[in-house]
Amino acid sequence: MIYWFEELGREHNDVVGKKCANLGQMTRMGLAVPPGFALSLEAYRLFVKESGLAVEMEKYVQKFGDLKGQGITVFDEMSKTLRSMIESREIPGSLKTQILGYYKDLSRRLGIDDPAVSVRSAGTESRPGMFETYLNVRGQEQLLEKVKKVWASAYTSRAIAFRANKGFPIIGDELGVAIPKMVNARASGITFTVDPVTADDSKILLEANWGLGEGVVSGAESVDGFVVDKESMEITARHVGSKVKCVVYTKEGADWADVPEPMQNMPCISDEEIIEIAKVAKSAEQSLGGPQDMEWAVDQDLEFPKSLFWLQTRPAKVAAKKKVSATSHIADLIAKKFGGV
């Protein structure tokens, strides 16, 4: 029902969802992943079954009949109802006990009371940005509430509309939940082991900002950019952005905040950190057998290199195909034309 990340691997995709399986795989590969645990899809199924929600939700959805091509107001209405159905329901006793048991164990492992965690959705299919993630979640009550909110995020208007238009059942997208310890990030960023625009795979690209990774991934702010040559492992280009805003913890959760002026035009990571990140990314690319798109954070409470944590890796999506030189492509085609069968 619930697993530590280190118990998981890519083969558990359908059990715990993609993000959890991925964090497991990364842990196995020796990447520094923040410790944490994963709620399987089965945990969600148990929740809706034992609480009687499964039947109620099915009944509610049936009233609407065929939803294909419906306007957004219908989906909004459904979303509101279904999400509040999920969020207001108690998690059945045995499941609740198990979740809290793992949280306590995590607390013990870290030596911190009520450690801050993030609560992240993990579907079996990759639907980037469709489901919710909650940052800086502390304490038992908050944890349980945010777990339900993640489950309920399978019923945002967008997610319902997506399934309706694809002809999938409205009751669907059962989610796993990843619950890693929150990194107290001084800086976070993303790393590509291939240029996603030009498909140049001789370089590693980094983007970084102060604070949490959400301050980079959202793409809203000017951030720092670095290029490392994959062969020589030297920094071949750097761009220090005017980082006016970043995402930081708030008392509950996380939010955008102003970057103090002296830090705005200062690189948020050191050269040492850049090289280390590039090295790890290169070896991850090798062991995963393809270019990667990775998320990382540098913890301000720990010392380098222990401070570097990896939050996600996935195959890099590249706009252009890998660039084969025009010459060799033409030579290929000519040879095929004149020598092919």
Which residues are near other proteins by CB under 8 A?
320-321, 324, 326-335, 337-341
- Structure tokens of 20? 């959890």
Instruction: Tell the smallest beta-carbon distance from residue 288 to other proteins (Å).
Output: 24
Instruction: Tell the smallest beta-carbon distance from residue 315 to other proteins (Å).
Output: 18
Selection from 341, 332, 279, 290 nearest residue 313 by Cα: 290
β-pair partners for 133 = 120
Q: Which residues contact 56 (CB under 8 A, 6 or more apart)?
A: 85
Instruction: Tell the smallest beta-carbon distance from residue 316 to other proteins (Å).
Output: 16
Look at the block and give the residue holding tokens 């761009």. Answer: 239
Instruction: Tell the smallest beta-carbon distance from residue 340 to other proteins (Å).
Output: 8
**Alpha-carbon span 40 to 260, nearest angstrom:** 41
Q: Which is nearer to other proteins, 72 or 334 (CB)?
A: 334
Backbone φ and ψ of 69, nearest 5°? 80, 5
Instruction: Tell the smallest beta-carbon distance from residue 236 to other proteins (Å).
Output: 23
**Alpha-carbon span 238 to 228, nearest angstrom:** 9
Q: Are 10 and 21 in contact (CB under 8 A)?
A: yes
As a dihedral over the C-alpha atoms of residue 97, residue 103, residue 104, residue 109, rounded to 10 degrees, the angle is: 150
Q: Which is nearer to other proteins, 263 or 334 (CB)?
A: 334
Instruction: Tell the smallest beta-carbon distance from residue 197 to other proteins (Å).
Output: 12
Q: Which is nearer to other proteins, 237 or 334 (CB)?
A: 334
**Alpha-carbon span 289 to 284, nearest angstrom:** 8
Instruction: Tell the smallest beta-carbon distance from residue 322 to other proteins (Å).
Output: 9
| CB-CB neighbours of 220 under 10 Å | 12
Instruction: Tell the smallest beta-carbon distance from residue 318 to other proteins (Å).
Output: 10
Selection from 217, 228, 259, 254 nearest residue 242 by Cα: 259
**Alpha-carbon span 293 to 11, nearest angstrom:** 20
Q: Are 311 and 33 in contact (CB under 8 A)?
A: yes
